[in-house]
Amino acid sequence: MHEHTEDQAMDALTPQIDLRREFEDSGVAEVLRELDRELVGLVPVKTRIRETAALLLVDKARRDLGLTQETPTLHMSFTGNPGTGKTTVALRMANLLHRLGYIRKGHLVSVTRDDLVGQYIGHTAPKTKEILKKAMGGVLFIDEAYYLFRPENERDYGSEAIEILLQVMENQRDDLVVIVAGYGDRMEKFYQSNPGFRSRIAHHIDFPDYTDDELLQISELLLAQQHYHLDEGARRALTEYIAIRRTQPHFANARSLRNALDRARLRQANRLFESADGPMSAETLSTIAEPDIRKSRIFAAEGMKR
């Protein structure tokens, strides 16, 4: 009995951390809720982000209690097709890392090869270093990172940018997180050609394509953000549009749908203008009708196939 009381007294004197309270107080819970609100589907991605957040929360608690001093490797790889939410998740990840104290500013600098690689000798190093300077204290997001490496061109300067990036990823990992992104198969070849990148990246997250139902849900959310909605005919037409468009070249998931909806709004505006013969209600001005979807050249091309 005496020993039990002594253990309790020792526990009371030992510094302790309430992980659940830290989770709420740090704002990480709100970041994850935002991710749920902003992104339809992507359950495996959201699960990995939650797991990563839990890992970092525990690591932060261990650092606060003096159990470790080393900054974990936070560089990441996002693989998947275009339009699957990689940039949005990178933004939220920057916010999450900032709230947990892993980066000073929490901003995201998004770049491609053209932002890093120069056209002539002596041009690449200053370009890459300028981008790194802007990204310090935050997250550098490199989309289609495999384009940095072009072995077929002997005079290509991408390898110089890679060399500088790898040095910074290793030596300044407590002040910069790099996220590389692109198609899964191309990223795999990129890692095979550049083992230094693979060894510095701790977290690999694969982004699946959206289902047809998820793309329809995304479309309705995008329209609702601009105070538009589909009537029943338009909803049926858009369901057909998604099924056809998915089978065509250069399909980019939510990005393709966003472009399709912009064109539908253009057709709606022209339809209303041409038929205008008096005042129109907010309902009329906010409704995307079936013809606004059906007049897409996607349907015309499909009809010609038949």
DSSP label at 72?
P
Say what the pTM is. 0.86
Cβ proximity of 169 and 211 under 8 Å: no
User: What pLDDT, on the 0 to 100 scale, is given for residue 8?
Assistant: 54
User: What pLDDT, on the 0 to 100 scale, is given for residue 10?
Assistant: 45
pLDDT in tens, 137-188: 999 999 999 999 887 776 788 999 999 999 999 999 889 999 999 999 999 9
Lowest-confidence pick of 40-44, 65-69, 112-116: 65-69
Range of the domain at 79: 2-205
The answer on 56 and 178 residing in a single domain is: yes
Tokens of 245: 């468009």
User: What pLDDT, on the 0 to 100 scale, is given for residue 66?
Assistant: 84
The answer on 105 and 10 residing in a single domain is: yes
The answer on 90 and 168 residing in a single domain is: yes
Q: What is the percentage of the chain residues whose pLDDT exceeds 70?
A: 93
Q: Of the residues 155, 184, 205, which one is the last residue of a structural domain? A: 205
Q: Of the residues 183, 205, 227, which one is the last residue of a structural domain? A: 205
Q: CATH number of the domain that 289 lies in?
A: 1.10.8.60
pLDDT in tens, 104-143: 999 999 999 999 998 888 899 999 999 999 999 999 999 9
Tokens of 270: 């022209």
Tokens of 306: 């038949």
The answer on 265 and 230 residing in a single domain is: yes
Sign of CA dihedral 91, 93, 95, 98: negative
Calculate the alpha carbon distances from 271 to 16, 38, 235, 276 in Å: 66, 31, 18, 8
Tokens of 157: 């300067």
